Each structure stands twice: as C-alpha cells, then as structure tokens.
C-alpha cells in the first residue's frame, strides 16, 4: 500500500520531460537605403542566432556595414546588434558609428535603434548621437533605413541536452552494428573451422 501511494506521489509531482529546442544560425549580406538629412546606400554583412519556438521565439542579430553618401562624399562605418522577441514584435538594438569625408574631418558616436523585421526586410529608425568635427556634412542624426538580408549560410542545431542524447543514441547504434558484425564474423569463422576440421 505504501509503495503504491509513493509511486502515485512521484508520478504526480515528477517534473515534465524537457522540450527539445531547435536553434538556427545563419550569415549573409545586407543592402539598404538610409534616409535622413542626406541619403546613403548601405552594404554589409549580418549574422543571426535564432531560437525556433511557436510561443517564445527569439532572434539576435549582429551587423557590420558601411554607408556612402554620394552627394557629400562621406563614408560611414557601423557595427551593432539588435534583438527581437516573439513573431511580430519590434527589434531593439544599438550601433557604434564612424563617419569620414576623406579630408580630415570625422564624426563618431552611438545610435539606439528600433525597427520592424519581416520576410528579410528590416525597417529601422534610429538617432545618431555624434561627437567630433561638427563641420562635417553628410552624417545623419535622425534617420530611417530599409534593409534587405540575403542569407548565404544556414545551419540548424538542437540544444545541448538533445544533442547529447542524439550522440549517445548514435554511439549505441554504432556499437550494436559493430557487435552484430563481430558475431557474424565469429559465426563464419566457426562454421569454416567445423567444415575443415578432420572428423574423429
């Protein structure tokens, strides 16, 4: 009776089995158009780290790109990160930036951003807090950017626990295959020995 109650108690309060988690990692190129006081074309690279889930998906992005303003001949370098939780939520991020006009003038600073990402397109609104040479023209402060992401490399991986279980199952499968092969070889050797052994 005691064993039955204990078994029922453990079954009722035992933790549920852990769910498998699938992660997606990809890298690719981005092209974009930035519009503010001036217009600049952007090109660069971006990487994504995504947790795939129906209810609590998450994606983290890292970006490095350059932008060029043809009117003022100003080039801008930018590196940053952003994060998005859920399927239709906004992206939040920040960038470090550097602008130069190739004539000794430069500006640098940081920019918080908020955006919306859907089907490879990323609409970003940000504000550049700049220091440096104020005489430099061609660096936006308030701006909006539309980018498109081209994935080049795409990988899917499970969480560590699931990967460990998969490796253990793979090792067990290989061991069983090896044991069957050894049994087969031993059986063939034994059968051959019985055929060639002289009868008493």
Give residue-wise pLDDT tens across range 71-103.
999 999 999 999 998 767 899 999 999 999 999
Of 83, 55, 78, nearest in space to 65 by CA: 78
| CA-angle at 44, arms to 43 and 45, nearest 5° | 150
Phi and psi torsions of 67, nearest 5°? -125, 150
| Cα 93 versus chain centre, distance | 15
Tens of pLDDT, residue by residue over 8-23, are 444 454 445 555 667 7
* Cα 174 from Cα 189, distance rounded (Å): 22
Burial degree of 154 (CB within 10 A; 0-12, 13-18, 19+): exposed
Tens of pLDDT, residue by residue over 115-154, are 999 888 999 999 999 999 999 988 999 999 999 999 888 7
pTM: 0.65
* Cα 166 from Cα 174, distance rounded (Å): 12
Helix (H, G, I), strand (E, B) or coil at 161: helix
- Tell me the two tokens of residue 189: 């050797």
């Amino acid at each position: 009776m005691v064993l039955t109650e204990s078994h029922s108690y453990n079954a009722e309060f035992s933790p549920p089995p852990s769910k498998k988690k699938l992660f997606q990692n990809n890298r690719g190129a981005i092209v974009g158009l930035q519009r503010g006081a001036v217009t600049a074309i952007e090109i660069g690279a971006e990487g994504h780290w995504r947790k795939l889930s129906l209810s609590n998906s998450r994606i983290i992005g890292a970006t490095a790109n350059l932008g060029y303003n043809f009117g003022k001949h100003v080039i801008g370098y930018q590196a940053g990160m952003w994060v998005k939780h859920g399927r239709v939520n906004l992206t939040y991020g920040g960038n470090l930036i550097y602008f130069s006009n190739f004539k000794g003038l430069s500006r640098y600073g940081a920019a918080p951003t908020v955006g919306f990402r859907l089907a490879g397109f990323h609409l970003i609104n940000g504000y550049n807090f700049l220091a440096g040479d104020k005489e430099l023209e061609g660096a936006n402060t308030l701006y909006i950017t539309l980018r498109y992401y081209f994935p080049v490399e795409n990988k899917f991986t499970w969480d560590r626990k699931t990967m460990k279980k998969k490796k253990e199952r793979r090792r067990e499968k290989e061991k069983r295959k090896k044991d069957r092969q050894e049994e087969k070889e031993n059986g063939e050797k034994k059968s051959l020995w019985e055929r060639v052994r002289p009868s008493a």
